[in-house]
Amino acid sequence: MKKEASLPVRLDPDEKRRLKEAAERMGLNPSAMIRLLVRSFVEEYDRSGGHLELPPRWRKEAVADGERACAAESPVPYAVCRRKTR
């Protein structure tokens, strides 16, 4: 899907570094990670009827060995890609 809007976000250097590291560990780039997070937040906001706690309480979900999130570029929300582990 073509992205139509730009949304500049200011992060401090440590936040930017940590976001980049987390995204890379999941096989994403920072922009794809942000799109995934925004999409999941908006969907949860809609599901909850607009009643969410901020900051969110992240729940832990098991991911099978070798699987990484790659949904940001996928037409299927929250798709999981199989990748080889090292």
pLDDT score, position 10? 95
Is pLDDT larger for residue 36 or for residue 82?
36
CA distance 73 to 21: 18
Contact criterion met (CB below 8 Å) for 39 and 7: no
Domain range list for the chain: 13-51+66-82
Length of the chain: 86
Greatest CA span in the chain, whole angstroms? 42
pLDDT score, position 57? 77
pLDDT score, position 1? 64
Task: Give 39's contacts (C-beta < 8 A, 6+ positions apart).
Answer: 71, 72, 77
pLDDT score, position 43? 92
State pLDDT tens for residues 6-65.
889 999 999 999 999 999 999 999 999 999 999 999 999 999 999 888 887 776 654 544
Its pTM stands at 0.62
